């Protein structure tokens, strides 16, 4: 599958019940240690695991304490974190309680008054807005490469 963004990288899918990376249509069954097939169409689910970055957004504001968003994206942590701060938090002037970032995880705790629908929109923008920036980032990366 071709990459859609200049910062995106290939990350293996992880078998939903086997909790192991799927490589070449196979994964290690942790209960037996055997390498088993994970064919398309067998009903198993795959999710993004390392080296993809886990993104969790929560809120401590009384109107949205029940709201939690989770996604994983195959981008470098610094690129995702930069996008979240520059294109979401600063542009929307959001109040944040805390942000924690490690090489494979970002946790954003919002303290801004939001409706659940606004929380959902903001969380989706944090996780998916990188693709909206693809053309400008690609052009900037090409210029940086040439200079």
Does the structure show a pLDDT above 60 at 1? no
Q: Which of 17-26, 112-121, 133-142 has the lowest mean pLDDT?
A: 133-142
Confidence of residue 91 (pLDDT cuts 50, 70, 90): very high
What does the mean pLDDT of the chain come to? 81
Residue-wise pLDDT tens digits, 101-131: 998 899 999 999 999 999 999 999 999 988 7
Question: What count of other Cβ atoms lies within 10 Å of the Cβ of residue 10?
Answer: 9
Q: Are 103 and 77 in contact (CB under 8 A)?
A: yes
**52 or 94: whose pLDDT is higher?**
94
Using CA atoms, how far residue 25 sits from 30, 37, 97, in Å, is 16, 6, 42
pTM: 0.68
Residue-wise pLDDT tens digits, 77-88: 999 999 999 999
In which residue are the tokens 């067998």 written? 42
Give the integer Cα–Cα distance in Å for 65 and 59. Answer: 5
Q: Which helix (H) or strand (E) holds 109?
A: strand 105-110
In which residue are the tokens 């055997």 written? 34
């Amino acid at each position: 599958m071709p990459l859609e963004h200049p910062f995106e990288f290939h990350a293996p899918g992880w078998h939903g019940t086997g909790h192991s990376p799927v490589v070449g249509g196979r994964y290690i069954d942790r209960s037996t240690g055997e390498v088993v097939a994970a064919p398309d169409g067998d009903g198993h689910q795959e999710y993004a695991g390392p080296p993809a970055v886990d993104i969790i957004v929560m809120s401590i504001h009384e109107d949205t304490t029940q709201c939690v968003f989770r996604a994983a994206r195959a981008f470098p942590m610094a690129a995702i974190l930069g996008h979240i701060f520059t294109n979401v938090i600063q542009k929307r002037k959001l109040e944040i309680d805390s942000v924690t970032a490690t090489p494979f995880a970002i946790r954003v705790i919002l303290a801004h008054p939001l409706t659940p629908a606004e929380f959902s929109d903001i969380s989706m923008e944090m996780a998916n807005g990188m693709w909206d920036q693809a053309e400008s980032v690609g052009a900037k990366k090409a210029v940086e490469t040439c200079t």
